[in-house]
Amino acid sequence: MENVVELKNVTKKFKGFSVENIDLQVKKGFVTGFIGANGAGKSTTIKMIMNLLKPDTGEIKIFGLDYQTHEKEIKERIGFVYDGNVFFEGLNLKDIKRIVAPAYKHWDDTLFEQFVDQFELPLNKAIKTFSKGMQMKASLAIALSHHAELIIMDEPTAGLDPIFRRELLNLLQEFMVDGNRTIFFSTHITTDLDRIADYIAFLQRGELVFNQSIHDVAENYALVKGRVELLDRDTEKAFVHIHRAPTGFEALTNNVNAVNNTFGNSVVIERASLEDIMYYMKGRESYV
């Protein structure tokens, strides 16, 4: 399967914070959700993918091209949406379009007008008077109007109301009907992902914990509940992290088969949500 984004052994170090040895592939034609707690390095990774930051070591390829020689070709094919407004806030949407549109070879005015109508965006009001949701819609209208093949979004749903979040997901699904398109977006609202994500990349403290299809995640990870007596040094190996309570234990496993072999019917196995996985993974660190 073709990879649209490929990070090989990418490391970027800051004072007191770093993203290390990231190997990440984003598959063409699918939606990859990028999850992780605040400060895990999601924005840093996205900035490196956009060439706003350069990695200390490692290799980044977008559409199989690198930024040293193909920066314009790459960005021509990317639509971006960031958490905050990056457009000149004193300007109205019409003027912003006038600045952004000529940058792209494949800018489509008709398409843009269609989105402006659909999102009910005012063309003559300064962007700074827009609500968070409207700013987001404006960014999206701009990102989707030049026939981009890859949409990169940093926390697009943060601060949006549930209705607009749902509308946004519908719109993205519409976008994905064309199989040549790819979406990569970071979020910490994991319910957004249940609906549209095909792959989940999970970043924790600057390290990529996994990048798997949602089916692999569902088949490998599970919550296991049982009596505390069942746990010993050997059986504990099957778990990523264990919570003990007087009433019994609850643990996360990343190997459901091993748990089945070890415990059989003596434990209850439940589907683990992405939130469960993030929560227990975090626990693992303070535990070790």
Binding site for other proteins (CB under 8 A): 29-31, 47, 50-54, 71-76, 78, 80, 82, 84-88, 91, 95, 98-100, 102-105, 169-170, 173-174, 176-179, 195-199, 213-215, 218
Using CB atoms within 10 Å of the CB of residue 260, give its burial: 0 to 12 exposed, 13 to 18 middle, 19+ buried: middle
283's enclosing H/E stretch is helix 274-287
Q: What is the DSSP string of 195-218?
A: HH-SEEEEEETTEEEEEEEHHHHH
Specify whether the CB–CB gap between 2 and 154 falls below 8 A: no
In the complex, the smallest distance separating the C-beta of residue 188 from other proteins, rounded to whole angstroms, is 19
In the complex, the smallest distance separating the C-beta of residue 125 from other proteins, rounded to whole angstroms, is 15
Q: What is the DSSP string of 43-85?
A: HHHHHHHTTSS--SEEEEEETTB-HHHHHHHHHHTEEEE-SS-
In the complex, the smallest distance separating the C-beta of residue 287 from other proteins, rounded to whole angstroms, is 30
Tell me whether residue 177 or residue 288 sits nearer to other proteins (CB atom).
177
Tell me whether residue 171 or residue 258 sits nearer to other proteins (CB atom).
171
Tell me whether residue 86 or residue 123 sits nearer to other proteins (CB atom).
86
In the complex, the smallest distance separating the C-beta of residue 157 from other proteins, rounded to whole angstroms, is 15
Tell me whether residue 13 or residue 244 sits nearer to other proteins (CB atom).
13
Using CB atoms within 10 Å of the CB of residue 271, give its burial: 0 to 12 exposed, 13 to 18 middle, 19+ buried: exposed
Distance CA 92, CA 153 (A): 22
Tell me whether residue 28 or residue 243 sits nearer to other proteins (CB atom).
28
In the complex, the smallest distance separating the C-beta of residue 159 from other proteins, rounded to whole angstroms, is 17
Tell me whether residue 194 or residue 285 sits nearer to other proteins (CB atom).
194
Tokens of 91: 């300007």
In the complex, the smallest distance separating the C-beta of residue 87 from other proteins, rounded to whole angstroms, is 6
Distance CA 99, CA 193 (A): 33
Distance CA 222, CA 241 (A): 11
